[in-house]
Amino acid sequence: MSRRLITRQFPFPPASNGYLAVVPNINAALSFSGPVKTLRSLADEVLRKNGINVADYLQTQFALIRAITAVCGAKNASSLAVKYRPDLSAALRTGVNLVELEKHGSERVKTFARVACKYTEILGKQKAIDPEAVLTNARSCCASEKRKILAYGFFRGRPILSRPEEYEFIDAIADEESIFFLPAGEGYLFEENQKWIDELVRRGWEIDNSAIGISESPTAGSRLAAAFISKQKDDFQESELAAYSFPSIEEEVRGVLAMAKGEILAGTEADKIAIVCRKPEIYANLMRQTAEDFGIPIQFDLHNPLAATQAGNFVRLLIEANLGEEETGGGHRFAFDVTLRLLFHSVLTSPDFDVWITARRNYPEGQEEWTGIYPDFEKLVLETADRTPGEFAAAVAAKIESLGIRERLCDSAEELIAFEQIIRLLHSYGRQSRTDAISFKRFAAEIASLLSEVTTDFCVSRGGVRLMQPNSAIGSFFDVIFAIGLAEGMHPIQPAETLTIDYLERKRLAENKIYFEAASEIARWEDLTFCYTLFSAKRKVVCSFPLAINEKEQIPSVYFEKLNKNPVPAEIALIASQSDMLRHLLSAGIKSDVEHPLYQTARNALEVERRRNSECAYDEYDGVLGIKVDIARRRWSATRLTEYGQCPFKWFARNALKLKPVDEAVLEIDALSRGSFYHRVLEIAG
């Protein structure tokens, strides 16, 4: 029996009896009860059986730096590595012929191609490959690794020329009787899917749209996805599709989690609810804090840079504080601000508060002055004379081990894991690095870069409501999906050119059959991703966006229009937490004997606001403090005096309260941007 293609537009996961289910992400694996693997884990397995290792982050980072140094002789190899990485990943991911790239590219691209060749050569000597090259390399090893697979969740066809790696590997690994769900449809969204269907049929696959993958009845998600594609003006019930706006990102988080709690109280299992966001890093911390307040279990499909953890922040401060005058270009070693933050960091057993007061009074600079006010200061001092990278790394690892930080982090699983990762990172850095001596400044820069690039789990808790990116929702199913952050520029995300191979360069390379993704492909991919995110909802989709983020006005995403649903201001009736209950009691003027540490404070604050809005005389809460001011010691600029004369309250809000007006969204392109846009379009059009 030949291999089969199921080209139904919205297929549901069938029983996988006798098959190995292959899915794009771990969430989609939950749709199957039998054997299941992600495509990446299957490719890793094939490579291991063939004796090919996948390099870890440090291997790739140091190999790339060595390649840049060898080709360019650059002292700023670390910054060039950051610049080259996106295009290097793209080239290795799709198997671009680097020799041809060097032959036909511009001078900038020729240098990049030589670096890429040297990079793969360095990894090859270590019998390793870049992680981005896994699928391309695994495809060539599949002759003896054929499997009877059921490939599900790969609904979004990448360009057959510039991004063939996923479907090529599926074709290579699929044995006879394998099944591949590859949706077809009319319009630009499915153009690449159709090209792949035609190509796979040419290779011997057969289209079979029999009963497999058909649901007994359409779901709300399948109807929404169909309407999104066809742009039909369907009027969905509020129980199927709702759209809201919130005044701020904080209110959006509270509102969405309140609605999620309402769903849980109504009987929906928490792990059947997903919150989908294109930029989850913006929402994650607020989500975690608010979910804890609401008593909602929540799971995050998100990673944090080590630098964003307490342990990573401490290591960065420790190294920064130890940088000397010759390294920083004029600053003292143990400068006041950074050293004070280091000394009273949350992971340390901090000195007495008297040390803080003395430091704020005397502003100590340098090791001697700090030791004078805190005798135990020596424990934070590192040797900064030129040494090998391994010696520097070992010294820092030993130092943070000796400070008892591990014990201080035991209350947080995430922080403890991050600390252990940092220790391993330092030891691995020492093994991977060169053996010649370097400056402490160079060591500090390399460690800072690693802490910013290497990631750790944002939250290790499992179970509960899921916060994830749209890519992680494809192929899985939830009863309710909240699509948040649907503001223009956030979702769909705007295409951004890379620094090495821009879109004009890609067009020129395509003329020589060297293909990279075009800007139009990113827009198509975003739309198709949102379409199949909608499909993942069985019962209901709730879309929302904040009217302002960081004091900047936001406008609703074009996806609201495509769904024929205008967002309305949210009115959340559910009291989801004790703090919500207190807010309700206070705003309603209801007296209560609630014993909550914040209740009396909130009542006092409310009384202050009521008094300020009354006819009562000004008091300390209006800025009348009754403190004598020595005018001779004050220096006012002419600008500030003018501002005060024009509007005293505006001056007070801006300079004393540090308030800023919300930047209004610009709905039209200004003349300068329009001119640049026209020039760029004409340049690309040739």
Please write down the HEC assignment for all residues of 204-236. CCEECCCCCCCCCCCCHHHHHHHHHHHCCCCCC
pLDDT value of residue 328: 44
Same domain as 22, residue 147: yes
pLDDT value of residue 465: 95
pLDDT value of residue 79: 83
pLDDT value of residue 673: 66
Same domain as 443, residue 338: yes
Cα dist from 307 to 36, 336, 449, whole Å: 35, 21, 9
- Domain boundary among the residues 441, 457, 473 is at 457
Same domain as 145, residue 27: yes
pLDDT value of residue 330: 44
pLDDT value of residue 6: 93
Compute and round to an integer the Cα radius of gyration of the chain: 29
83 within some domain: yes
367 within some domain: yes
Q: Is 408 left (phi over 0), alpha (psi -120 to 50) or beta?
A: alpha
Where residue 490 sits, what CATH number does that domain have?
3.40.50.300
| Alpha helices in 302-458, H assignment, sequence order | 310-322, 325-328, 336-343, 353-362, 367-373, 389-402, 405-408, 413-432, 440-453
pLDDT value of residue 598: 64
492 within some domain: yes
pLDDT value of residue 664: 67
213 within some domain: no
219 within some domain: no
- Domain boundary among the residues 102, 120, 136 is at 136
| Count of the separate structural domains present in the chain | 6
Evaluate the CA torsion angle 343, 349, 355, 361 in order and state its sign: positive
Same domain as 553, residue 491: yes
Same domain as 477, residue 440: no
pLDDT value of residue 218: 85
212 within some domain: no
Same domain as 591, residue 496: no
- Domain boundary among the residues 116, 136, 156 is at 136
218 within some domain: no
Same domain as 554, residue 537: yes
Report residues of the chain scoring pLDDT below 50: 326-330
Same domain as 413, residue 328: yes
Residue ranges making up the domain that contains 181: 4-50+141-207
596 within some domain: yes
Same domain as 503, residue 420: no
The Cα–Cα gap between 199 and 46 comes to 24
Same domain as 402, residue 368: yes
Same domain as 148, residue 18: yes
Same domain as 317, residue 397: yes
